[in-house]
A = this chain, B = another copy of it.
Amino acid sequence: MLSFKHDIPTKLYFGEGQIKRLAKSLEPFGKNVLFVLGGGSIKKMGLYDEVIKILKENNFNITECDGIEPNPRITSVKRGVKLCKENNIDVILAVGGGSTIDCAKAIAVGYYYEGDDLWEMVKTSFRRAKALPLVDILTLSATGSEFDAGGVISNLDTNEKLGAVYTYPAVSICDPTYTYTVSPYQTAAGSADIMSHIFEGYFSRTMDSDLSDGISETILKSVMKNCKIALKDPTNYSARANLMANSSIACSGIPEYGKQETGWPCHAMEHELSAYYDITHGVGLAILTVRWMRHILNKDASATERFVKFAKNVMGLSGDDERALAFAGIDALENYFKETGIPMTLTELGIDDKHFVAMAEHANIGGYLKDAFVALTNEDIVEIYKACL
């Protein structure tokens, strides 16, 4: 078990009706609020009107920054920072999924960024000392942005999608009923995203960090169970609540405490897919994950022990032949993804091999995936991409 630091200052209000905490959560920071939101989904479900009503009743001054994209873009970050400066913003309120919250984080630190080019800020990833305070209301169980300091911003001009460390939300309001209207496709994709956050740390050489592994296995099993329930019964509170609680912990770093860092290879590879083709992040992750698993298990037999643990403790399989069991666990995972309706090839998404070499180079910048659970070369990554066709 390795050393770790735990330092998550975010306050979570979890459960139906927690929006009652909104005004008091914003109040300590000031009256001028930048209201960051995505497309129309929060308007359709009535949440937009509810937020505006609460803000007006409590005499907040509202500046809206709407239209934040899935895979949020640097152009939106620039627009948000400009609005903050023009309107003397005291606090940012992000209402939406991970993309909206990620963008709001970049705006929060971008406000204090002293350089000329905010894309440079994204490229030099570290936790910023100064940021505008951020409160969010979560509407999608997926990225875990409500309980971590990270964010991912895309630049369509350069075909880049980069994760960076920004700032923790001060308060996250997590009401599972806001996810009742999430489509089956996005429910499945969000669940795959949660699971990928676990896979990235679970597949590690550290075998004795019991709590991390137990939390990881619990989340994987719970997501698979509750995603299926939510697909059949979208307003099942218990299923939506479990998915939401799992999403917050999965990306918090907690499931990796005490474990060797892995470089998050599937996220590195998927960010290239999203950067080039603007696909749904969780879908790209699901497609890549099972091919990555098979590739590394074929490449390095010493990975078998960890895959057997996964097959037994997560997928509920058993058997005497360890190699067969390890591969069976991956097959079972692929079947689960298929059952949830995720298209499981890049071909179905209209992606061919045209950019695979360039994407592999960028995914493995500086060759840093040599420190992954099983080391990956650029050639490995191209092979994994090809296996996804």
A interface residues (Cβ-Cβ under 8 A, vs B)? 1-18, 208-211, 213-215, 217-219, 221-222, 225-226, 237-238, 241-242, 245-246, 249, 257-258
| Assembly stoichiometry (copies) | 2
A11 to B238, CA, bound (A): 31
Residues on B with beta carbons closer than 8 Å to the beta carbon of A219: 211, 214
- A6-B11, A11-B6, A11-B7 given; A208·B1 CB < 8 A: no
Report if A241-B214 is in contact (Cβ < 8 Å); known contacts: A15-B4, A16-B3: no
Known A-B contacts A5-B14, A7-B11; A210 and B237 likewise in contact (beta carbons under 8 Å): no
Question: Which residues on B sit within 8 Å (CB–CB) of A237?
Answer: 1
6 additional A-B pairs beyond A209-B242, A245-B258, beta carbons within 8 Å, are: A3-B15, A5-B12, A6-B11, A7-B12, A211-B242, A214-B217
Q: With A1-B238, A5-B11, A11-B7 as given contacts, are A218 and B226 in contact (CB-CB < 8 Å)? A: no
Whether B249 and A211, one on each chain, are in contact in the complex, defined by CB atoms closer than 8 angstroms, is yes
CA distance A210 to B194 in the complex (A): 15
Q: Residue on B with the closest CB to A16?
A: B3
**Contacting residue for A1 out of B18, B215, B245, B258, CB 8 A:** B245
Give the complex CA separation of A217 and B215 in angstroms.
Answer: 10
Q: For A1, what are the chain B residues with a Cβ–Cβ distance below 8 Å?
A: 237-238, 241-242, 245
Closest B residue to A237 by beta carbon equals B1
Kindly state the separation between the CA atoms of A213 and B245 in the bound complex, as whole angstroms: 13
B214 touches A226 (CB 8 A): no
Which of A210, A214, A217, A226 has the most chain B CB within a 10 Å cutoff? A210
Q: Among A1, A8, A9, A238, which residue has the most Cβ atoms of chain B within 10 A?
A: A1
Q: Which residues of B contact A222 (CB under 8 A)?
A: 210-211, 214
Alpha-carbon gap, A213 to B3, bound state (A): 25
Residues in B whose Cβ lies below 8 Å from that of A7: 11-12
Assembly CA distance A237 to B209 (angstroms): 12
